[in-house]
Amino acid sequence: MRLLAFGCIAIAIGGTDPLSGQVSEARLRDARREPANWLTYSGDLGGQRYSPLAQITAANVAALRPAWIYQASEAGMLQTSPVVVDGVMYLTEFRGHVVALDARTGRMIWRYQLTLPPKVLTLGFGPTNRGVAVLDSTVYVGTPDAHLIALDARSGALRWNVPVADNALGYSITAAPLAVGDLILVGISGAEAGIRGFLDAYDARTGEQRWRFYTIPDVGEPGVESWGGESYKTGGGSTWVTGSYDPALGLVYWGVGNPGPDWNGDSRPGDNLYTCSLVALDAKTGTLRWHFQFTPHDTHDWDATEIPVLLDGGIGGRVRQLVTMANRNGFYYVLDRATGEFLSGTPYIEQGWADGLDPSGRPIMRPNIEPTAQGTVLTPNLHGGTNWYSPSYSPRAGLFYVAARQMGSTYFKYDASYTPGRYFMGGGESEFGGDSAQGAVKALNPLTGAVRWSFPLHSPPWTGLLSTGGGLVFGGTNEGVFFALSAVTGSPLWHFQMGAQLNANPIAFAVDGRQYVAMAAGGTLQVFALAVP
């Protein structure tokens, strides 16, 4: 078995561009060539969240210290994953306010305060925001009231502001947009309110909509037969976590969330396409090329809105272009990213709902797993084996890392009737918390899902992972600890109490030859570096 790095080129810290601050499409495609920068939500278009930076290593990480701390102007937990371009860091605060900081010192360069209406619907998630996209000299952010906004990267001045969808119906944006070619792609939240989900593409220069892919087919389109009656109209299928992009294939990969109503599937008999699926879309037109549904007819809120990670590897004697996903339903999937062919799926947690997958990748569901009025006990709970926070793939270590959640729950089913702009869920759960629930950072063989090592966590985590060229994996805990593990063995090598729950993704960058690691906790962004001698 052989592993190939996806676009991995090992180079030293550096990467000063002659057009400093101008993020061309070419720079985004070759983000790995300039590891000093963190140019997209996941650090590269393939969703790997891997930094080739190698100044901080297993041998010296014990000397990692805070370099600077940014405190958000407004209260609220930061879930942001910053973008760093040529010494400038762009991050989002709670509610989607955007800040540009001097990445070396944390000094503020500008701050864009969103103007929001007095009442904004954020049904099921709160007015959180997970970051920006940068293309050329423009910064893009989605807003809680479902607008897409473009800001001048140097000044923070508004370039344009377009409505994406009607917030009064529950549509909202929490995900970081993704720059694809000359388009800005943005996903939508709101599947707890009976929306009809979509993925949108806008002209980066003008804000004009270029295409929309509805994640729930309309009458006359293939897939609508997987819904009963008119249930497709309120079918959910949000796209609330940033996807990935393969420029060579011209395909965008995006995860689709749960069907609506969440826990009561009576009104929507069938598989409910394309909910709980990965869709591969033509990047230029938004046309569906293929789809793979992880959880047909989901009734446990197991969104497939995890990061699609693109990597190449040898399977069955030949090199395959792969897209992999550690899915919320507890299985790790390996698919051919050109065709969508299912190659393997393996549980990475102890789960209780499926006796494995059939040769096509469809789950062999156990009986009596549906939520009921009396309650149905099942693992995982609605938050799944993992969630929106990012996994990481290290081409150097050849391992896929996932922050796994091991937690059960009692699922309940209630009635559901649709009222525009209201919750439309039909149930709930009572999770098994406290000492009965745990988490773990797990290192998987990326081609098979076999667990190589596992580092246990006190409680099911809400923090993503970063792997680095220094042989480290960074992660965090609900109890406020930011830590570094050996990427090879999982041994803990460093930890720091940040003073609030971690609920975001780490990144790495460099300025003036010094490597930094950044992580949000509570209302702060904290940046670490080796102590200067």
Partner 1 sequence: MRLSLLLAALCLTRAASLGAQAPADSAPAPPSAADLAAGERVFETQCVRCHGAQGTGGVGPTLTHAKLRRAATDEALVQVIQNGLPGTAMVGFWNLSEDEARQVAAYVRALGRRPPEVIPGDATRGRVLYEEPGRCGACHILDGQGAGWAPDLSEVGLRLSAVGLRQSLLTPGAAQPVSALPSVHGPYPAFLAVVAITRAGRVIRGTRVTEDDFVIVLREADGRLRSLDKSALRRLQKNPGQSPMPSYAATFSSGELDDLIAYLASRRGEP
Give the integer Cα–Cα distance in Å for 457 and 102.
34
Q: Which of 124, 223, 345, 385 binds partner 1 (CB under 8 A)?
A: 124
Residues contacting partner 1: total by CB under 8 A: 40
> Which span sits near partner 1 by CB under 8 A: 24-32, 145-153, 168-176, 478-486?
478-486
**Among residues 170 and 469, whose Cβ is nearest to partner 1?**
170
- End-to-end CA, the chain: 43
> Which span sits near partner 1 by CB under 8 A: 41-49, 97-105, 350-358, 473-481?
473-481
Give the integer Cα–Cα distance in Å for 134 and 31.
12
Q: Which of 479, 514, 523, 524 binds partner 1 (CB under 8 A)?
A: 479
Q: Is 480 in the site for partner 1 (CB under 8 A)?
A: yes
Q: Is 459 in the site for partner 1 (CB under 8 A)?
A: yes
Residues 163 to 222 in contact with partner 1, rule: CB under 8 A = 192
Give the integer Cα–Cα distance in Å for 95 and 75.
10
> Which span sits near partner 1 by CB under 8 A: 104-112, 327-335, 443-451, 476-484?
476-484
Strand pairing category for 288-293 and 277-282: antiparallel
Q: Is 457 in the site for partner 1 (CB under 8 A)?
A: yes
Per the DSSP assignment, residues forming a β-bridge with 443 are: 401, 453
Give the integer Cα–Cα distance in Å for 198 and 39.
25
Give the integer Cα–Cα distance in Å for 472 and 319.
27
Q: HSE (CB half, 13 Å, CA atoms) of 478?
A: 15
Q: Provide, rounded to whole angstroms, the least separation between the CB of residue 483 and partner 1.
A: 7
Single out the residue of 188, 201, 316 nearest to residue 255, CA to CA.
188
Alpha-carbon separation of residue 350 from 217, 329, 437 (angstroms) = 33, 11, 12
Give the integer Cα–Cα distance in Å for 505 and 476.
9
Q: Is 456 in the site for partner 1 (CB under 8 A)?
A: yes
Give the amino acid at 211: W
Give the integer Cα–Cα distance in Å for 511 and 30.
19
Q: Which of 34, 86, 246, 429 binds partner 1 (CB under 8 A)?
A: 429
Q: Is 401 in the site for partner 1 (CB under 8 A)?
A: no
> Which span sits near partner 1 by CB under 8 A: 21-29, 338-346, 489-497, 509-517?
489-497
Q: Which of 110, 332, 389, 412 binds partner 1 (CB under 8 A)?
A: 412
> Which span sits near partner 1 by CB under 8 A: 109-117, 173-181, 495-503, 506-514?
495-503
Peptide bond into 171 cis (omega under 30): no
Q: Is 284 in the site for partner 1 (CB under 8 A)?
A: no
Q: Provide, rounded to whole angstroms, the least separation between the CB of residue 375 and partner 1.
A: 6
Give the integer Cα–Cα distance in Å for 126 and 189.
11
Q: Is 419 in the site for partner 1 (CB under 8 A)?
A: yes
Decide: residue 307, CB within 10 A, 0-12 exposed, 13-18 middle, 19+ buried: buried
Pick left, alpha or beta for residue 124 (phi over 0 → left; psi -120 to 50 → alpha; otherwise beta). left
Tokens describing residue 359: 């040769």
**Among residues 286 and 427, whose Cβ is nearest to partner 1?**
427
Cβ–Cβ under 8 Å, residues 319 and 374: no
**Among residues 161 and 501, whose Cβ is nearest to partner 1?**
501
**Choice among 200, 301, 303, 312 that is catalytic:** 301
Q: HSE (CB half, 13 Å, CA atoms) of 171?
A: 23
Residues 500 to 519 in contact with partner 1, rule: CB under 8 A = 501
Q: Which of 430, 450, 499, 513 binds partner 1 (CB under 8 A)?
A: 430
Alpha-carbon separation of residue 502 from 66, 77, 100, 520, 523 (angstroms) = 16, 9, 21, 6, 10
Q: Is 435 in the site for partner 1 (CB under 8 A)?
A: yes
Q: Is 433 in the site for partner 1 (CB under 8 A)?
A: yes
Q: Is 407 in the site for partner 1 (CB under 8 A)?
A: yes
Enumerate residues 6+ apart whose C-beta is below 8 A from 190: 121, 123, 124, 165, 169, 170, 171, 172, 197, 238
Q: Provide, rounded to whole angstroms, the least separation between the CB of residue 86 and partner 1.
A: 36
Give the integer Cα–Cα distance in Å for 296 and 319.
29
Q: Which of 334, 437, 484, 504 binds partner 1 (CB under 8 A)?
A: 437
Is residue 182 annotated as part of the catalytic site, yes or no? no
**Among residues 44 and 429, whose Cβ is nearest to partner 1?**
429
Q: Provide, rounded to whole angstroms, the least separation between the CB of residue 429 and partner 1.
A: 7
Per the DSSP assignment, residues forming a β-bridge with 148 are: 142, 162
Q: Is 403 in the site for partner 1 (CB under 8 A)?
A: no
Q: Provide, rounded to whole angstroms, the least separation between the CB of residue 408 and partner 1.
A: 12
Q: Provide, rounded to whole angstroms, the least separation between the CB of residue 325 and partner 1.
A: 24
Residues 230 to 269 in contact with partner 1, rule: CB under 8 A = 262
**Among residues 117 and 492, whose Cβ is nearest to partner 1?**
492
Q: Which of 477, 486, 505, 526 binds partner 1 (CB under 8 A)?
A: 477
Residues 373 to 392 in contact with partner 1, rule: CB under 8 A = 373, 375
Alpha-carbon separation of residue 144 from 64, 96, 121, 297, 320 (angstroms) = 36, 7, 8, 28, 39
* Binding residues vs partner 1 (CB under 8 A): 124, 192, 262, 373, 375, 407, 410, 412, 414-415, 417, 419, 422-425, 427-430, 433-435, 437, 456-460, 462, 477-481, 483, 492, 495, 497, 501
- Which positions are annotated as active-site residues? 301
